[in-house]
Each structure stands twice: as C-alpha cells, then as structure tokens.
Amino acid sequence: MKMSRKAAWSAAILVGIAATLISVPASQAAAKACPQWAKDYCVIDKTGFRHTAQTNPCLAKKDGLRILHAGACLGPICPFDGPQVCSRNPDTHKRQTYNNLCLSDIANATLIHKGACK
C-alpha cells in the first residue's frame, strides 16, 4: 500500500519527535525546562554590559545573565539621594548600603532589599 505525501510527511515528523523525546530522559527534560513567563529585569551579562531584558530568573541563568533587580535598569545619571537600598557589591561580594537603587545599578550591584544594610 502506497502512502500519500501528506501521510509520509506526518509520519516523518512523528518519528523525529519520538527520536527527540527518547534521546532525552524525562528527568533531564524537566530539569532543563524554564517557566515561559517573562517581565523586565535589570541584568548584566558576562561581558559586563548592563541592560533591561524580558526574562525570568531561570531563563536569565540559562542565558548567563545575572539579575540585578526586577524592573528596568536606571542611570547612567543618578540623583545622589533617595531611598537607600542594600545590595551585594560585585567586587567585594559583601553587603553595601547605596544611597538609592540607581547608584546600586550603575555599580552593577545585586539588590538584596530596600533600606539600609543591617
């Protein structure tokens, strides 16, 4: 019995999908899956470039990005005062109080919480 082109094409697609599913164990496939929601995060990539990206923490990690905080990046010109924030200094890896989120951003510091560090 001869298959139609459509049936042959469908069969080839199903064989390809099956081969893909069989070659990756379910536990590995689940471990590699990230949620598909995204929102604005201020991120820094491996080259040190800081920018706003539509992502989530899982996707950011897979893409080699470090999240500085939720929301768009601020700066490069910042007011000197404002609500203080506690962020992790990227050079010393210690908590440091910054005069505002914008100053924390331009230092590429990772936000820990709003308010001064304790």
What is the residue extent of each domain of the chain?
1-33, 34-72, 74-118
Instruction: Specify the DSSP class assigned to residue 2.
Output: P
Beta strands in 1-118 (DSSP E): 39-44, 50-55, 66-70, 85-88, 95-98, 110-114
And the tokens for 116? Answer: 């001064």
pLDDT tens for each residue of 68-111: 999 999 988 999 889 999 999 999 999 999 999 999 999 999 99
Distance between CA atoms of 20 and 11, rounded to whole angstroms? 14
Architecture of domain 74-118: 2-Layer Sandwich (3.30)
Distance between CA atoms of 106 and 109, rounded to whole angstroms? 8
Of 118, 117, 85, 91, which is closest to residue 104 (Cα–Cα)?
A: 85
Query: Is the pLDDT at 64 greater than 70, yes or no?
Result: yes
